[in-house]
Amino acid sequence: MEKKDGTKRIAVVVDFGGPADAPPGETPPKKRVETGCAEVREDATGAEALAAVAKPLRYDSVAMLCGIAGYPAKGCGEQVEVGGRPRRRRPRPPFPFRGTGGPSFGLLAGGAGVLALGGAAIWKARRRG
């Protein structure tokens, strides 16, 4: 099937989690991971691609996504107990973006390289002057 002009294709993967991730009184879908391919306008957002593949989507009054494909049926971002401690249910970012939230090694190395080149340029300019 050929892509239509003015559109793009986006692979969508939804992981509903397991029973431990479910809010109280809810049961995750039997099929834990749902996949699909959305063909959307070239300027479409990720939310539009998700809506094309995993209907219905449920949002709260401030446009926070609360449910995908009917799960969970109610609620929106409530805390759940994990190991006796409450924690807010939040999706984990994909692998390359996990971390401590600080700058990556590449960013620090690049910054050090720029500083070194700047220092060398200043040193050379002073030697000529």
Asked, for residue 86, whether it belongs to a domain, the answer is yes
Asked, for residue 37, whether it belongs to a domain, the answer is yes
- The DSSP code for 61 is T
Residue keyed to tokens 């993967």? 13
The answer, yes or no, to whether residue 42 has pLDDT greater than 70, is yes
pTM: 0.55
* Three-state DSSP class for residue 84: coil
The domain in which residue 48 lies consists of 7-91
The answer, yes or no, to whether residue 99 has pLDDT greater than 60, is no
Distance CA 23, CA 101 (A): 27
Buried b (16+ CB within 10 A) or exposed e, 24-63: eeeebeeeeebeeebebeeebeeeebbbbbbeeebeeeee
The answer, yes or no, to whether residue 117 has pLDDT greater than 80, is yes
One domain for residues 81 and 121: no
Residue 81 is predicted with a pLDDT of 64
Residues 60, 76: contact at Cβ < 8 Å?
Answer: yes
The answer, yes or no, to whether residue 40 has pLDDT greater than 60, is yes
One domain for residues 82 and 109: no
One domain for residues 85 and 125: no
Residue 68: name the closest of 3, 13, 112 by CA. Answer: 13
Asked, for residue 97, whether it belongs to a domain, the answer is no
The residue among 68 and 108 whose pLDDT is bigger is 68
One domain for residues 60 and 120: no
List of residues 6+ apart from 72 with CB closer than 8 A: 22, 23, 26, 66
- Tens digit of each residue's pLDDT (9 = 90 or more) over 14-24: 998 888 888 88
One domain for residues 109 and 84: no
Residue 23 is predicted with a pLDDT of 82
Task: Quote the number of domains for the chain.
Answer: 2
Residue 127 is predicted with a pLDDT of 82
Q: Counting every residue, how long is the chain?
A: 129
